[in-house]
Every structure is written in C-alpha cells, then in structure tokens.
Amino acid sequence: MSVIKDRFSLEGRVAIVSGASKGIGKAIARGLAEQGASVIISSRKQEAVDEVAAEFKKEGLEATGIACHVGDEAQLKNLVDRTIDVYGGIDILVNNAATNPVFGPLDQMTGEVFDKVMNVNVKACMLLGNLCKPSMAARGHGSVINIASVEGVKPSPMMSIYSVSKAALIMLTQSQAREWGSENIRANAICPGLIQTKFSAALWQNEQVLNHFVDQLPVGRMAQPEEMVGLALYLASDAASYSTGGVFAADGGYLVG
C-alpha cells in the first residue's frame, strides 16, 4: 500500500495553468511545481510568463512560459501542441484565466459584454479541456481543475454576467467528469471566495464594498492567493483519485454565512 504522502507527489506530471502570471494562477503553478510537476506558465504576454518561469527556475522548479490568449482557438491549440513538444504530454490542466470587464447591474449589460465574458470564462475552458483530453487519455490519467467562483453558486449584486459564467463553468466541470471518467480523467471545480488579487481589486480597494463582503464571512477576512493552493494540489494528485465532478469552496464560509 502506498504511503499517503506519496499520493500527493506530482513527480513526472505535466501541468498547464492558464492565467498563471499572477494571483491565484501563479500561486497554484508554484504549488504544482513544488510538488514535482513540470509546469507550463501561460498568460497573454510572453514577457510576463517568461518572467514567472525564470523566477520558478531560480527556485529549482521546472517551468516553461508559453503565451496564450484563451479567447483565440488557434492560440489554445498552439499552447497544447507546444506543451507536448516540450514535455511529452499533459496530465493536469488548471483553467484559471478569466475576465470580468464590467461591474454593474444586470439591466445594463450588453450582448458584447456577455459574449466576451462567456468566451473567456466558459468556452475557452471547454476548448482547452478538449484539446488536452487526448494526451491525458493516452497517458492513462488526467485531472482538469476549473477555477470557478462562489459567484457561480450565490450571486452578488453587480456581478451578474460573471456569476452566470461561473455557474456555467461548474456545469461544464460536471459534464467533463461524467463523460471523461471512463478514461480516468477527473474534473473538479474550485470556487474561491474573495481573494486579494489584481483581478478582484475593484472589490477590496473599495472600503465600503470590502466591508460588505467581509461582514458576511465567518472567518472575517479575505484570503490570499496561496490559500487556494492546497485544494488544487489535492485535486491534481492521486490522493484525489476518487474525486470527480466535485465543487469545492474555499470561501471563508461565505456560502454558509
């Protein structure tokens, strides 16, 4: 019988992390690399991903930067093809890249905003998962980790289309889990709460808005990106071999508040 700590090892595994140049994506990428994975750092700008990969390599971690705008299908294919060229295959996909260009009421949302948010937050996750699936199946295992949000479970005012997109991402995750389980490919969603990142700055830099959110939290504070890493490491590893289709909140108790 294997020792439990060995089941958390990611030695020999290859991971793609989108939106990995900063925030939650960067924190998860570092955690995967620290557990032994070779990690593709992906984001829109090559300079940004090269900087993170160089930082990781100085720490003795294995990482390569590949720029990719997830809203561009050709760039998604290039990301997967180059990953396979560099590391030989793919075992782990973390769909972290997301957008939320407008903070406002639902009746002010336009079709253009809706399309942009859904293309990046949902469609790109489906397409990238589909592109990674053949390699995962050929290697006999795979883990897809979709970074959703508590907003996909319990919507907040002014976050309408973002909430819709994250609810759709949760359902995409469960569809992947149901359809791909027979090939030993697992899919799970992580739903962060309020995390102090550049992406959520519109929330935590406004004291009134921040207090509104924090007052609802049993733990009484927002989180740091590193506090999302533990769940990702579990779901990426063999320790989670029976976990698929799950929706895991890391929200300071927001959903029960």
Edge-first strand order for the sheet with 63-65 is 63-65, 38-42, 14-18, 92-95, 142-147, 185-192, 247-250
This prediction has a pTM of 0.95
Q: What mean pLDDT is reported for the chain? A: 94
Distance CA 237, CA 226 (A): 18
Question: What mean pLDDT comes out for the span 197-222?
Answer: 78
Residue 170 has pLDDT above 80, yes or no: yes
Question: What mean pLDDT comes out for the span 65-74?
Answer: 98
Percent of the chain with pLDDT over 70: 96
pLDDT at 130: 98
Report the catalytic residues. Answer: 162
- 42 by DSSP, 3-state: which? strand
Matching residue, tokens 């795979």: 142
Specify the DSSP element, H or E, that contains 86: helix 73-87
Contact status, residue 41 vs residue 48, Cβ threshold 8 Å? no
In this structure, what are the phi and psi dihedrals at residue 243, rounded to the nearest 5 degrees?
-105, 110
Percent of the chain with pLDDT over 90: 83
pLDDT at 214: 84
Distance CA 137, CA 130 (A): 11
How many C-alpha atoms does 18 have within 13 Å on its Cβ side? 29
pLDDT at 178: 98
pLDDT digit string (tens) for 230-239? 999 999 999 9
pLDDT digit string (tens) for 106-120? 999 999 999 999 999
Specify the DSSP element, H or E, that contains 165: helix 160-180
Domains and CATH numbers, the chain: 4-193+225-249 (3.40.50.720)
Specify the DSSP element, H or E, that contains 188: strand 185-192
For the ranges 9-13, 106-110, 123-127, 209-213, which has the lowest average pLDDT?
209-213
